[in-house]
Amino acid sequence: MTSEESGNRYPYASHKAATLLVDMAASEHVNLLTRFDHWRKTQPDKSAFIFLISEKEVPLTYGELWLLAEQAAVYYRENLQLSEQPLALLLYPWSPEFIISLLACQMANIIPVPSSIPLRRDQSKRMDAIISDSGAEIILTSESAYETISNVSNNYSVPILVTDWMRDQPFIISSEQPKYTYKDITSRDPVAFIQYTSGSTGNPKGVVVTESNLTANLSLIEKAFNLSEETVHVSWLPFFHDMGLVGSIFGTLWCGGTAVMMSPESFVLRPWKWLQAISDYRANVSGGPNFAYDLCVKRVQAGHLDDLDLSSWKVAFNGAEPVKKATLDKFSKMFAKVNFSRESFTPCYGLAEATLMVSSSVVGVAPVVAHLDADALESNIFLPSGEENLIRVRDVVSSGRVKDDSIVIVDPVQKVILPDKMIGEIWIQSESVAAGYWNRSEARNEDFYCRLDSSDTPYLRTGDMGVVSEGEIYVIGRSGEVIIQHGRNIYPSDVEELILTSVSYVDSRATAAIQLHADNDRVVVVHEISKSLSNTEFVNIACNIKNIASRDLGLHLDEVILVPLGAIPKTTSGKIQRNKLAQNIISNNCEILYRFRSLHRSGHDGRAAN
């Protein structure tokens, strides 16, 4: 079928038909490409993706997408001098071109490495590190992104290929185009893609997701969310992040549904547009981290609700860990008037090292919330609070049911499984657990091969603290970020949520609670604030934060640091990079507006010198 016969909206120079690595007709197993092949044959004219660009719809059908990806795969094979199974770094803006190139790489036996476009020179250094670590042989990008990349750095050590199919322009490569001799590489479990971690707890590492990992996780998501060809999914999630890549793109092609795509920038600027798209397209699946729902509560105004009807939204997944009860409460209350049901909230837990999803709550059932004795929790004991303990209560939201021994709570020192209601580290054993970190020795991949003393079964050590109670798994926080003071374990997210809700008159985007282990274990709260405030306002805010932490949590803060908006480093998925922030403070690599130090510590209070 030619592009004209299929009604292709995206002209592309004609190439001969591709001989794909996988013979779809003869394939004995199901994977992403065989599922995609099935849908493009049975529903070629159905929209796989609908891009919302400048208030216009740009649809891309299953038939068109397959044709474009196939033709690009032929070009890659016949015109590039690459190794037998090369890695390609995908640096695309939010656009259909990313999806086309992603699938073309998989068809052409090229391992795709999706990543964000470096916008600043410090991000260019990170990109250089990824190129070096991955061994990528080529960068695939668009013309508009090429200009951005070139402005940041002209010193990338690999050629850059500009691939603008959407504008019917020929391919442009930044170096010679020698002939590429394609060789069929057989593998029992080929690599589907390499997902570089967000870097919330350290330098990004390339997670090797194999075909079987991806198939297992997509099957898990399909079952957990009741996905089918009738699914309509609205997504603003970045394509290079695991939630957007696996959940939105691959998940749609797996189940045969339709995904309505809006850019992350559009969502951040106008979050009500996300809700409007869910309403307009009668979407039944959509979601994101906590901050997405919080942003809607903060930014959506009464006038934006006039034409909304969220009754179709059956799976409102929340993939942040830990999920906040306050977030669920506020969003449910505000949008109940436009037919959003609290039962639609579907908290889940996952990480890149497990492809994406690890566990999920039951669809159509209100989230399970445990009301805990906060004092017991600080001693790693999961104790439901009685009526007499209402002053010190912490609400924790379940991230789903644990049905077998694929998820266990472990004492990482003794390497034994802890009993129910004891907090420990979450270890995972499943077919979704990735093959390891790319280009790492076995010793540096040890987190993927942890073993209990009583078993030879390998587990993935997640570094997340959690607990199982009555079959529900609760994610408490990161093990390396727990604040320990006077024998108490205090989780940064508790401190941060308290401050953000209590210091309500301040337009702050983030608060971070950290412990500086390299500086006498000092406990510090870093709070973003406007530069335009006066010195008196700085003093009042810092004192208020210190008093709130002491009064409500019994936490002594050695220091409160006020920084400009946007100064707290975050990952591409919005998670606070607490370890990086701590390093920035210790190395004086952080713009400080004001710092308030406790009297028993050396130093002085006052506005930071410019």
127-138 pLDDT tens trace = 888 888 899 999
pLDDT of residue 201: 47
Question: Is residue 9 over pLDDT 50?
Answer: no
Whether 21 is covered by a domain: the verdict is no
Clarify whether residues 176 and 59 are in a common domain: yes
> Residue 167 sits in which domain range?
32-186
N residues, the chain: 610
Q: Are residues 442 and 497 in the same domain?
A: no
Does 204 reside within a domain? no
**Cβ(222)–Cβ(246) below 8 Å:** no
Q: Name the domain boundary from 479, 497, 521.
A: 479
Residues 599 and 428: their CA atoms lie apart, in Å, by 45
Token couple for 354: 């497990």
End-to-end C-alpha distance for the chain, whole angstroms: 66
CB 229 within 8 A of CB 246: no
The reported pLDDT for the residue numbered 34 is: 96
Given a cut of 90, is residue 194 above it in pLDDT? yes
pLDDT confidence of 57, banded at 50, 70, 90?
very high
Both 528 and 539 in one domain: the answer is yes
Counted domains in the chain: 3
Kindly state the tokens that stand for 610: 């410019």
| Beta carbons within 8 Å of 312's beta carbon, 6+ residues apart | 232, 278, 279, 282, 283, 284
**Residues 419 and 513 occupy one common structural domain:** no
Determine how many CB atoms are found less than 10 A away from the CB of residue 440: 15
pLDDT tens across 227-260, in order? 999 999 999 999 998 999 999 999 999 999 999 9
Give residue 605's pLDDT band: very low, low, confident or very high (50, 70, 90): very low
Do 379 and 446 fall into the same domain? Answer: yes
Q: Looking at the DSSP assignment, which residues form a beta bridge with residue 348?
A: 360
The three-state (H, E, C) secondary structure of 76-125, written as one string: HHHHCCCCCCCEEEEECCCCHHHHHHHHHHHHCCCEEEECCCCCCHHHHH
Cβ neighbors of 266 (< 8 A, separation 6 or more) are 52, 236, 273
Look at residue 203 and tell me if it is in a domain: no
| Whether residue 557 sits in one domain with residue 466 | no
Q: Residue 112's pLDDT is what?
A: 97
Measured at the CA of 401, the angle between CA 396 and CA 406, to 5 degrees, comes to 115
**Residue 354 and residue 491 in one domain:** no
- 462 and 531: one domain? no
The answer for residues whose C-beta is within 8 angstroms of residue 243's C-beta and 6 or more apart is: 237, 288, 289, 319, 350, 356, 573
Specify whether the CB–CB gap between 129 and 203 falls below 8 A. Answer: yes
Last residue of a domain, which of 479, 495, 517? 479
Q: Is there a single domain that holds both residue 541 and residue 399? A: no
H or E, element range at 424: strand 424-428
Instruction: Identify whether residues 340 and 430 lie together within a single domain.
Output: yes
For residue 191, tell me if it sits in a domain: no
Average pLDDT over residues 570-599: 84
Strands 160-162 and 111-114 come out as unpaired
> What CATH number is associated with residue 133?
3.40.50.980
Domain at 491, CATH number: 3.30.300.30
Q: Give the domain-ending residue among 450, 479, 508.
A: 479
Q: Report d(CA 438, CA 196) in Å as an integer.
A: 9
**Distance of alpha carbon 89 from alpha carbon 140, whole angstroms:** 6
- The CATH number for 383's domain is 3.40.50.12780
Label the pairing between strands 191-196 and 160-162: unpaired
Q: How far is Cα 131 from Cα 88, in angstroms, rounded to an integer?
A: 9
Q: What is the pTM of this model?
A: 0.84
Instruction: Supply the pLDDT for residue 432.
Output: 96
Taking CA atoms, 353 is separated from 185, 221, 437, in Å, by 25, 16, 8
On whether the CB atoms of residues 424 and 410 are closer than 8 A, the answer is yes
Q: Do the domain assignments include residue 364?
A: yes
For residues 456 and 528, membership in a common domain is answered with: no
* Any domain includes 73: yes
Cβ–Cβ < 8 Å for 529, 478: no
HSE (side-chain half, CA atoms, 13 Å) at 98: 26
CA distances from 603 to 540, 558, 592, 596, 606 (A): 19, 11, 15, 9, 10
Name which of 73-82, 107-116, 274-283, 289-298 the model is least confident about: 73-82
| Amino acid sitting at position 573 | S
Which has the minimum average pLDDT: 12-26, 154-168, 298-312, 461-475? 12-26
Distances (CA, A) of 381 to 164, 420, 493: 56, 10, 18
Contacts for 593 with CB less than 8 Å, ≥ 6 apart: 529, 531, 538, 562, 563, 564, 607, 608
- Each residue of 300-359: pLDDT tens digit? 999 999 999 999 999 999 987 678 899 999 999 999 999 999 999 999 999 999 999 999
Residue 103 burial (10 A CB sphere; 0-12, 13-18, 19+): buried
Q: What pLDDT does residue 577 have?
A: 86
More confident residue, 487 or 92: 92
H/E stretch holding 502 reads helix 492-502
Instruction: Note whether 357 and 448 are same-domain residues.
Output: yes
Asked if pLDDT for residue 156 goes beyond 80, the answer is no
Query: What are the counts of helices (DSSP H) followed by strands (DSSP E) for the chain?
Result: 16, 30
